[in-house]
Structures are given as C-alpha cells and as structure tokens.
Structure 1
Amino acid sequence: MGDHSLWSKNFICISLANFFFIITYFALLVTLPTVAISHYSSTSAVAGLFTTVYIGAAIIIRPFMGPWIKKYGKRFMLLSSLGLFTIASFLYSFFDSIPLLLTVRFIHGLGFGMATTITVAIVAEIVPESRKGEGMGYFILSTNVGMVIGPFMGLTVLDEYNLYTLFWTSACCSLIACLFGVLTRLPAEKLEEIPGGRKRSPLFEMSALPISITGAFFGMAYASVLSFMAVFAVEQGLGAESSYFFVIYVVVLLLTRPLTSRWYDQHGANAIIFPAIVSFAIGMLLLGLTTNTLLFFMAAAFIGGGWGTLFPSFQTVVLQKSKPARRPVALATFLSVFDIGISGGSLVAGVLVGVISFSSLYIFYSFYILIGLAVYYWAQNKECYG
C-alpha cells in the first residue's frame, strides 16, 4: 500500500466520473450521424460534421487547460468542465434543426475537451510512478467500458423509443458524472499567479508531438468506426447486431488489459504497441470483408485488442516522457492533436463513402494502419520512446 496504492477513493471517483461522461459521449457519437441521415435527411458529409464540430471544439479549448489548471486548480477545472458538459447535454432536447444541434455540439465539445484533459491530469498525479502503466490502463478501461455501454444504450434507446428519450438519458448520465466529480476530493494546491512581466509557459508541449501525431494517424482510421459502423452494419443486414459490436470489443479488453498493462510496465511500450497495431489492422480488414455475424464480431475482437490497447499506451508514453509540472500541457497537446485525427477522419470518411462503399473504406484503412508501423517507429526514434 502506501505510495504504491492504486485503488484510492479519488481514483475510483474520477474513474466513475470519466465512465459516465464517456457513456454520454459515445451514445451520441454513434447515433447522431445516423439521426442526421434518417431523421433530417442529411448527406453523409453533413452527418460527419456532428463529430467534426464536437471534436473541433475540444481541440480549441484544450491548449488553455494547462494555464487554467495552474491558475484555478484541478478541482475547480474538474467541476467547471463536468458542469459545462452536463448543461450542454440537457440542451439537446430543446432544439430540432441541424444548425442549432451543431451549435449545441460545439458547446458540448468544449466541455468534453476540458473534462478529458483534467481527468487524465488528475489520474497522472494520484497514480504511483511505479504503477503508471497499470493505473492508466485501468483508468482508460473506464473509457473503454463506457464506450461499449454508450453505443449500446444509444442505439437501443433510439431504436425502441425516440430521439428525445436518447437525449434525456444521455443528460442523466452526464449529471451522474458531475456528481462523482463533486465526490472527488483533491489536496489543496498552490495556485500560480503569473505577473504581467513574466513569460507565460507554452500552451503546447513540443516533446509530445511525435507520439501525438502517431495517435492522430491511427485516430483517423478509428473515426470511420466511431462515426459509421452503425450505418455500415445496417447496410450489411446486421443492424440488430450493431449494438453488440462494442460489447465484444470490451470483453476482449477486460480479458487482456491486466496483462497488457503489466507488460507495459515490465517490458516497455514497444512490446505492446507493435502487436496492437497489427491487431488493429486485422480487425479493420475483417470489418471490410464482413458479410455475416461471425466476421463482424471477429472484427470487433481484433479492433478491441488493437485500438483498445494503443490509445492508453500512447497516453502513458506521453505521461512518462513529460516533467510532472508539464503533464497537463503534454496531455492537452496529445489529445488536441489526436482529436484532429478523429475529427478529420470522420469528415474524410463521410466524403469517401459518397464515392466508395463502406467495405472498401475499411479494407483501405486496414492497409493504412499497417503504414502506422513506420509512423510509430519514427516517433519512437524521434523521442526515444520505449
């Protein structure tokens, strides 16, 4: 225990707060593009904007989180971010047009960008250095499980009830996240007041850029799954099975996460990241070849073992290579650059599926991901990761 304790009250509360706001995030992320096409008769490119606008807002706000955390403290920024996220979640129910919903998406994205930065910064501080890989792995597992329940809840509620029931259900999950944020008690911090003549710290951490660019590269491919997997499943006659895609995904994570997290701490990033890239590529290839339930679920398993391992591993690399005082800025840099990949990938996927089929899109991305082996190798040598 002592300095090596992992499962503290704060760690549990911040993980649960993360879990519930991630449910909201993914419940809306996988359903709103479908809603835009089916309910509002929008094109696939407009449907992709629901992701692009949201992530764009997160990118805009994240660089300011480092200075704000120093000035106002982690607890204040945690409650502010979850509060804004919750308010925006309730606003969806009051609007019924694409422009107004995109405006709410932008506000929601601001809260999301703030919350994802501050929660990881808090975890980086409370997890012991000797268990950083394990601690970040379990924290990101709360994201992964939320990523399963969110789409499952969103698609199920939308199918069995209606759009507004989905909005209210998501808003309630946001409110629960906010309550767990209130229960998180952090030690008093020494806040920083920067005199007018003193040079401010940079808003970006340049040392984090190589691994951030790598994360964005893979994020572009994963965005096609987030935004259009449900639409693709319906096209393949697997609409009823689409809710279970992320269930298979998380089952694989639950089985592998304890091992991969410890292997990371014992053997370094390379021993985990290179195999995970290959698994991700195989999963996307199987998704592109999907004609039945078996291939669909096999794709979910390989993508879960691949992407589900890559994302927390990249974040852990950023944490370990950053000075403690610069970790919030380094994390904000990583997430901002990564989200450029997610938002750009969603937009690109929306445009591409107007030209090629979903199957061709996912097969293309399987080869694209393999190129990522070279991208990660470059990042590794650029900053001596691993």
Structure 2
Amino acid sequence: MENKKIWTKDFIVISVINFFLMLVMYLLIVTIAPFAAEEYGVSTSVAGLVSGIFIIGTLIARLAIGGFIEKVGSRKILLIGLTVTVLASVFYFGAVNLPLLMANRFFHGIGLGISSTATGTMVAQMLPPSRRGEGIGYFSLSSVLATAIGPFFGIYLSQHYEFTVLFMFCLALSVCCAAMYFFVEKAPEVTPKKNVRQTEEKRKSHDLLEKRALPIAFITLLAAMAYSGVLSFISFYADEINLVSAASFFFLVYAIAVLLSRPYTGRLLDIKGNNFVVYPSLLLFAGGLLLLSSAHAGWMLLLSGAVLGLGFGNFQSCAQAIALQGVKPERLGVATSTFFIFLDFGFGFGPYVLGLLVPVIGYQQLYVVLMFVVLAALALYMLFGRKRQKPAAN
C-alpha cells in the first residue's frame, strides 16, 4: 500500500540542504560582481560575466548529470555535488586574480547544478505519486526562501564586513550541507529491471533530455526569461520611477505571497489537475507584469510583487511537478535535469537578451513586452499541455 506521508525526516533534511545551497547561490549572485569590480577594477560588463558564468557551469552540469543519476543513483550524485560545492567555497579564498575567480565561479556552478538536480530527484523519488505536486510545492519553498533571504544577507554582509567574511559564511553553509547529507538515512533509488537494462542503456545512453518533460520545460523557459527581467532590472526601474524605498521590500512581498499560496496550489494540482493551476498562474503572472509596467506608487509596486508571486512563483513549482508526470521512475533524474536546464537557461540568458531591448524601449515597455511573452507561454501550454490533465501514477 502506498505510503502517502510527505514530511519524513529525509524530506526535511534534503529540503534544508537545498535551502542552504540556494542561499549560497543568491548570496553570491548579488555580491560577486561588486567584489570583482572592487578587487580587480574590472568594468561592469566583465563583472556581470563573473556572475553569469556560474549559470553556464550549472547548465553543463544539469545536461550531463541526469543520465548519471539514472545509472549511479541520486544519493551518490548528491555527495559528489556537495563535495564540489565545499571545494569551490574554499577556492574563493585563493582567487587572487580574475581568471581564477571566473574559473571557480564556473566550478561552483557545476557543483550547484549537480547538487540541486540530485536533491530534486531524491524528493521526487521519495514522494508518493498521488501527492507529488503538493510535496514538490513544499520542497520548492526552500528555493523561494533563499531567493528572499539570500540577496538581503548578501548585501548586508558586503556593506558591513569585508568580502572575506561573506566567503567564510558561504563556506560554513556549504560544510553544513555536506554534514547534513549523512543524516539522510534512506536511498530512494530506482534502477531499471535487469531484463530491460541493456535495451534501455542502448536506447538512452545518449539521451540527456526527457522527451515527456520538454513541452512544459520550454514553456518554463519563456516564463523564466520573463521573470529574469524582473530580477535583473527591478532596481534600475525603481530608481527611474523614484520608488527605491518600496522596491527594497519587493522580493519579500513576492516570497510571502508564494509561501502563503504554494501549499494549496500544489495540492490543487494533484486533486484538480494541471489546468486548474497553470491557467490562473500564467494569467496572474501576465497581470503582475502589466501592473509593474504602470506602477507609479509604492503600493502598486508591492502589489505587483504579490501578484507575480501568486503567478510565476506558483507556476514554477507546478511546472516542475508536471515535468515528472508520466515519467518512468528510473527517468526521474533526467526529467528533473531537463526541467532545470530550461529554467536556468531562461534565468541565465534572459537578462542578456532583454538588456539589448532596454536602451531601445525602456523599462516600462519592456515589462509590457514580457507580459506578451507570458501570454505566448500560455498559448503554448494550451496547445501542448492539455493532454496531461492528471498525474500518472508511477
């Protein structure tokens, strides 16, 4: 009989590990570019590259690691990822020049890509299929909290202490992740049956992406690209419209909206089906961008943050659950990797593409354009996503 319990000890430990991993990521994302500019006197564009090369490392790791999880097991892969993360955290202290710093950022991105893909796979493997949407919703709150807390602590530490203190804090968090790994008692691995192992390996040895996850992953790419415009340019936009004070609370409001709503939306996904959650989420996402584009008061800016949290914040976790629907248990690692590859691609390369538009159309019109990008994602979901109404039991 299926065990329908979500809040097991292993689930909680893996969620905390994921939270610390993401916390380190966001702590450094907002501080490493200023560090490079201050320490090495590089231009803003080069400093941005120091920050962005992390995403390239993450993408490469996700591309490669899905198949290895299928063969080796997610628990062993997590240990490898955490080891790389700890080493990268140590190497920041030895980054005495720009090439070494960039190499370590790339190396650190690989570590995060390996670790976070493994944690997502382990959670998917241990959750009962009938409650997977709800469980992933709870698990993904660890990333949401890191999104809100990481930038705040990163900016605070960089303003009040030397960067060495920031790197020590990141190292301490990474070591905590590695230590907590040994409290994960179970190894929720699923391997192909012996009588199909050889044919599966022949057919999928070069199959780095899960085909069933591709439609929702591509839709997620568009949504992530749209949200990257908020992440990257909200500070500049707030300065332009004289709402800097309100903008400091923007992501806090966003996180609160997600925290209050995501447990319900995950459960609704399991009970009512995909469309019941995805359609409202994408419509709210589009509406939040439209509200953001027309904000002229602090309350409007913060309200747009709340609406975006209800929209993109819930779509992201539900899309991850949808990417795993109907996927064979031994392919959950590849499906998880596929989803995050497209998500990271949207987050990582979106700012570069959108940055080319800003000088031409400005920030307000940019958010209007991004609203139409989200509506395009909704149209694609209507074409490709409606076939998968309910999760398929694995």
TM-score between both structures, scaled by the size of structure 1: 0.89
Pairing 1:223–2:224 present: no
Matched, 1:276 2:281: yes
Q: Structure 2 residue aligned with 1:374, among 364, 379, 393? A: 379
Name the residue aligned to 2:139.
139
User: 1:357 is paired with a residue of what secondary structure?
Assistant: helix
Q: Which residue of 1 aligns with 2:43?
A: 42
Higher mean C-alpha displacement, 217-226 vs 349-358: 349-358
How far off its partner does 1:318 sit? 1.2
Residues 248-287 of structure 1: CA deviation (Å, up to 9, x unaligned): 1111112112221221111111111111112112222333
Which residue is equivalent to 1:251? 256
Matches within 5 A, 1:142-181: 142-181=142-181
Q: What is the correspondence of 1:179-198 to structure 2 with a 5 Å cutoff?
A: 179-187=179-187
Matching of residue 346 in structure 1 with residue 346 in structure 2: no
**What is residue 114 of structure 2 aligned with on the other side?**
114
Corresponding residue of 1:294: 299
CA distance in 2, matches of 1:142, 1:241: 25
Cα offset, 1:61, TM superposition: 1.7
Structure 2: 5+ residue runs without aligned partners?
A: none
Distance change >3 Å, CA 237–CA 161, structure 1 → 2: farther
1:224 deviates by 2.1
Judged with a 3 Å threshold, the aligned counterparts in structure 2 of structure 1 residues 97 and 244 are, in CA distance, closer, same or farther, namely farther
Measured in 2, the distance between the counterparts of 1:235 and 1:160 equals 27
What residue is the counterpart of 1:205 in the other structure? 210
Please name the residue that 2:69 is paired with. 69
1:303 paired to 2:311: no
Q: 1:243 to 1:153 in 2, by over 3 A?
A: farther
Q: Residues of 2 paired with 1:102 and 1:229: CA distance?
A: 26
Cα distance, 1:352 vs structure 2 = 3.1
Q: How far apart, CA to CA, are the structure 1 residues paired with 2:87 and 2:242?
A: 37
Mapped partners of 2:113, 2:58: distance in 1 = 4
* CA RMSD of superposed structures (Å): 2.8
CA deviations over 1:105-133 (Å, ceiling 9, x no partner): 21111111111211111001111112111
**Quick one: distance in 2 between partners of 1:197 and 1:283?**
44
* Alpha-carbon distance between aligned partners in 1 of 2:362 and 2:200, rounded to the nearest angstrom: 57
Give, in angstroms, the shift of residue 320 of structure 1. 1.5
Structure 2 counterpart SS, 1:21: helix
Q: Which residue of 2 aligns with 1:95?
A: 95
Q: For residue 161 of structure 2, what is the amino acid of its counterpart?
A: Y
Compute the displacement of 1:34 (Å): 5.6
How far is the alpha carbon of 1:57 from its aligned partner? 1.6
In structure 1, stretches of 5+ residues that fail to align are: none
What CA deviation, in whole Å up to 9, does each residue of 1:315-366 have, x standing for no partner?
Answer: 1011122111111111111211222222220221333334443333223212
Preserved CA contact (<8 Å) 1:79 1:182: no
Q: 1:169 to 1:258 in 2, by over 3 A?
A: same
The answer to whether the Cα contact below 8 Å between 1:29 and 1:227 also exists between their aligned partners in 2 is no
In 1, distance between residues paired with 2:349 and 2:172? 30
After TM superposition, give the deviation of residue 188 of structure 1 in Å: 7.8
